[in-house]
Amino acid sequence: MKVRLLVAYDGAAFSGFARNDGIVSVAETLETMIGAICGEPIVVTGAGRTDKGVHARGQVVSFDAPDTLDPAVVQRSITKRTGGSIVIHEAARVDADFDARFSARWRRYRYTIVNRTMPEVDLRHVAWHVSEPLSMEALLEATPHFLGSHDFSAFCRRPKGTAPGQVSMVRKVLSADWSEIDDDILRFEITASAFCHQMVRSIVGTLVDVGRGHLAADSIPSILEGRDRSRAGNLAPPHGLSLHEVGY
Catalytic residue among 10, 21, 51, 184: 51
CA 230 → CA 24, 164, 200, 205, 226, distances in Å? 31, 14, 16, 12, 10
- Written as one string, the DSSP assignment of 19-36 is --TTS--HHHHHHHHHHH
Q: Is residue 101 part of a domain?
A: no
Verify that 128 and 221 share a domain, yes or no: yes
Q: Is residue 100 part of a domain?
A: no
- Among 94, 117, 143, residue at a domain's last position: 94
Q: What is the pLDDT of residue 152?
A: 97
Q: What span, in angstroms and rounded, lies between the C-alpha atoms of 92 and 115?
A: 40
Q: Is residue 99 part of a domain?
A: no
Q: What span, in angstroms and rounded, lies between the C-alpha atoms of 200 and 28?
A: 24
Q: Is residue 175 part of a domain?
A: yes
Estimate to the nearest angstrom the gap between the alpha carbon of 98 and the chain centroid. 21
- Establish whether 51 is a catalytic residue: yes
Task: Report angle CA 151, 174, 164 to the nearest 5 degrees.
Answer: 15
Among the listed residues 36, 94, 87, 90, the one whose alpha carbon sits nearest the alpha carbon of residue 63: 94
CA dihedral 109, 216, 232, 185 (to 10 degrees): -30
Verify that 242 and 162 share a domain, yes or no: yes
- Among 45, 71, 94, residue at a domain's last position: 94
| % of the chain surpassing 70 pLDDT | 98
Are 82 and 16 in contact by the 8 Å Cβ rule? The answer is no
- Return mean pLDDT, the chain: 95
| % of the chain surpassing 90 pLDDT | 91
Verify that 238 and 174 share a domain, yes or no: yes
Q: What span, in angstroms and rounded, lies between the C-alpha atoms of 69 and 213?
A: 55
Query: Rg for the chain (alpha carbons), in Å?
Result: 19
> Looking at 114-118, 155-159, 192-196, which range is the least confident one?
155-159
Verify that 83 and 168 share a domain, yes or no: no
| Prediction pTM value | 0.94
Verify that 135 and 224 share a domain, yes or no: yes
Residue 61 Rama label (left phi>0; alpha psi -120 to 50; beta):
beta
Q: Is residue 183 part of a domain?
A: yes
Among the listed residues 107, 100, 103, the one whose alpha carbon sits nearest the alpha carbon of residue 190: 107
Verify that 89 and 111 share a domain, yes or no: no
Q: Provide the β-strand partners of residue 113.
A: 128, 186
Verify that 134 and 238 share a domain, yes or no: yes
Verify that 54 and 129 share a domain, yes or no: no
Containing structural domain, residue 60:
2-94
Q: What are phi and psi of 119, to 5 degrees?
A: -70, 165
Are 185 and 127 in contact by the 8 Å Cβ rule? The answer is yes
Are 57 and 11 in contact by the 8 Å Cβ rule? The answer is no
CATH number at residue 48: 3.30.70.580
CATH number at residue 172: 3.30.70.660
Q: Look at residue 142 and tell me whether its pLDDT is greater than 70.
A: yes
Verify that 120 and 243 share a domain, yes or no: yes
Alpha helices (runs of H) in 154-193, residue ranges in sequence order: none
Q: What is the pLDDT of residue 157?
A: 86
Verify that 115 and 236 share a domain, yes or no: yes
- Total number of domains constituting the chain: 2
- Among 38, 64, 94, residue at a domain's last position: 94
Q: What is the pLDDT of residue 161?
A: 66
